[in-house]
């Protein structure tokens, strides 16, 4: 089962994602995509480590190319987060790329390996502001990725003020 969780910043996405896997009896993995650049990133990483402490997750830090990860068949995975993954794939030392198809394909391949995949993404681009070219391109790529994942996901949830709102499918067992 593949579950996509979206929403704005600090809306409870991560907490809800962990709740979905709380009673999962198989091996659990947390794929962390945030590169530790700067104080804000370090604080976010620390906060997420504390949130999942004692919950049985094995952490895999993988900032790009997540299709390279090989996991046991009956495991549960929390992928946190597509927004970071997109930025990591899109803005490289070699210049800017447009990774929506690659990332969507990588996540689909990951979903086929595991019993339960919970994907955290960000709702971006709904504020109506005009952004510089690189940021605008990132927003477009995120929209494509989120649509692609939502298409193959069994369940799509938007967290609003800490409340999960089901847009597709229902609560997984």
Please give the full DSSP string across 128-142, using - where no structure is assigned. Answer: -----HHHHHHHHHH
Domain boundaries defined on the chain: 2-168
- Confidence at residue 48, expressed as pLDDT on a 0 to 100 scale: 72
The CATH number of domain 2-168 is 3.20.20.190 = no
Secondary structure element (H or E) that encloses residue 124, with its range: none
Q: What are the Cα distances from residue 94, in Å, to 35, 89, 91, 97, 101?
A: 17, 11, 8, 9, 19
Please give the full DSSP string across 18-52, using - where no structure is assigned. Answer: HHHHHT--S-EEEEE-----HHHHHHHHHHHHHHH
Q: Is the pLDDT of residue 54 over 90?
A: no
Q: Is the pLDDT of residue 44 over 80?
A: no
Backbone CA torsion sign across 52, 53, 59, 63:
positive
pTM of the prediction?
Answer: 0.90
């Amino acid at each position: 089962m593949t579950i996509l969780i979206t929403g704005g910043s600090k809306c409870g996405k991560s907490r809800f994602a962990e709740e979905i896997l709380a009673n999962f009896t198989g091996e659990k993995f947390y794929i962390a995509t945030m590169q530790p650049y700067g104080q804000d990133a370090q604080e976010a990483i620390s906060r997420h480590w504390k949130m999942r402490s004692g919950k049985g997750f094995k952490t895999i830090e993988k900032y790009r190319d997540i299709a390279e990860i090989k996991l046991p068949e009956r495991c549960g995975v929390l992928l946190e987060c597509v927004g970071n993954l997109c930025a990591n794939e899109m803005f490289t030392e070699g210049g800017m790329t447009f990774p929506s198809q690659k990332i969507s394909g990588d996540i689909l391949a990951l979903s086929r390996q595991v019993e339960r995949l919970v994907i955290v993404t960000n709702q971006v681009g709904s504020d109506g502001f005009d952004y510089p070219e690189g940021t605008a391109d990132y927003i477009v790529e995120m929209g494509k990725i989120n649509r692609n994942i939502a298409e193959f996901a069994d369940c799509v949830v938007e967290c609003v003020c800490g409340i999960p709102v089901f847009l597709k499918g229902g609560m997984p067992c």
